[in-house]
């Protein structure tokens, strides 16, 4: 049905927005360090998706929802960790679940600053101030509350970004150091949340928890 719809649209001259999407072969941009491969693809409007996906008209809205969903998932896994295991590290050089959650709480702020062009400040004084603030977050719920507050501000920024800004780029010292589009910067918090789900799940298996959260 999707192929027929595309053929009909081609004959009629109909063109779908490059910044909207469906759920068929054409899909939301896959940001894997090489850019938004599908940003300029036409969309198969004949494919039926979940209502919340069909209702989306801008990729900015997609990233608001995808980022929040990823945050919800990683904190759902973290919440399954018993309090006595929150500070446990698998090895001397490893990280605890609480340490990971503290990073996740700051992730929306880092994403916001990067998109807005702020320069990262990793001097000793700034890092000490950040660690002092994070030390106040002693539970998963504390970290989740901090994260969600920051996600609200980030969502407002995402929705305010004009379509023509999505492909603008600036050099960042990540992925070997290269130009990153605003769209790639928007994907960073979602990626970071997903990345750390695996770390938390692995720590859980080491102390015998093999539940799916």
Q: What is the CATH number of the domain that holds 109?
A: 1.20.120.450
**Looking at the structure, do residues 82 and 143 belong to the same domain, yes or no?**
yes
**Looking at the structure, do residues 77 and 173 belong to the same domain, yes or no?**
yes
DSSP state of 26: S
Q: How would you write the pLDDT of the chain (213 residues) with one tens digit per residue?
A: 443 333 344 343 433 333 333 333 334 444 434 344 434 444 444 444 555 555 557 999 999 999 999 999 999 999 999 999 999 998 878 899 999 999 999 999 999 999 999 887 778 887 888 889 999 999 999 999 999 999 999 999 999 999 999 999 999 998 999 999 999 999 999 999 999 999 999 999 999 999 888
Strands (E), the chain: 169-172, 178-181
**Looking at the structure, do residues 96 and 197 belong to the same domain, yes or no?**
yes
Q: Radius of gyration of the chain from Cα atoms?
A: 20
**Looking at the structure, do residues 199 and 102 belong to the same domain, yes or no?**
yes
Domain that includes residue 25, residue range:
1-57
| 101 close to 137: Cβ distance less than 8 angstroms | yes
Token pair for 126: 């700034």
**Looking at the structure, do residues 70 and 175 belong to the same domain, yes or no?**
yes
User: Is position 213 within any domain?
Assistant: no
User: Is position 122 within any domain?
Assistant: yes
**Looking at the structure, do residues 132 and 181 belong to the same domain, yes or no?**
yes
User: Is position 199 within any domain?
Assistant: yes
Token pair for 103: 């990073």
Number of domains the chain is built from? 2
**Looking at the structure, do residues 34 and 138 belong to the same domain, yes or no?**
no
**Looking at the structure, do residues 97 and 124 belong to the same domain, yes or no?**
yes
| 168 close to 182: Cβ distance less than 8 angstroms | yes
User: Is position 212 within any domain?
Assistant: no
Residue-wise DSSP of 47-68: S---HHHHT---HHHHHHHHHH
First to last CA, the chain: 36
- Bridge partners of 172, per DSSP, are 178
Model pTM?
0.72
**Looking at the structure, do residues 103 and 182 belong to the same domain, yes or no?**
yes
User: Is position 211 within any domain?
Assistant: no
**Looking at the structure, do residues 34 and 62 belong to the same domain, yes or no?**
no
């Amino acid at each position: 049905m999707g192929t027929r719809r595309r053929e009909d649209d081609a004959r009629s001259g109909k063109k779908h927005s490059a910044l909207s999407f469906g759920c068929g072969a054409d899909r939301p941009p896959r940001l894997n360090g090489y850019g938004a491969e599908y940003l300029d693809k036409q969309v198969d409007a004949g494919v039926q998706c979940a209502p919340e996906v069909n209702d989306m008209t801008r990729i900015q809205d997609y990233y608001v929802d995808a980022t929040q969903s990823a945050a919800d998932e990683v904190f759902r896994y973290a919440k399954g960790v018993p309090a006595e295991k929150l500070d446990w590290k698998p090895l001397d050089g490893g990280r605890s679940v609480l340490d990971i959650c503290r990073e996740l709480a700051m992730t929306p702020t880092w994403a916001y600053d990067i998109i807005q062009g702020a320069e990262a400040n990793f001097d000793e004084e700034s890092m000490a101030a950040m660690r002092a603030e994070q030390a106040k977050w002693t539970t998963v719920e504390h970290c989740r509350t901090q994260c969600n507050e920051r996600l609200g501000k980030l969502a407002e920024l995402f929705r305010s970004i004009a379509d023509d800004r999505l492909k603008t780029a600036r050099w960042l010292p990540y992925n070997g150091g290269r130009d990153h589009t605003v769209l790639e910067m928007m994907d960073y918090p979602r990626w970071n949340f997903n990345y750390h789900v695996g770390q938390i799940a692995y720590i859980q298996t080491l102390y015998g928890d093999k539940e799916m959260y």
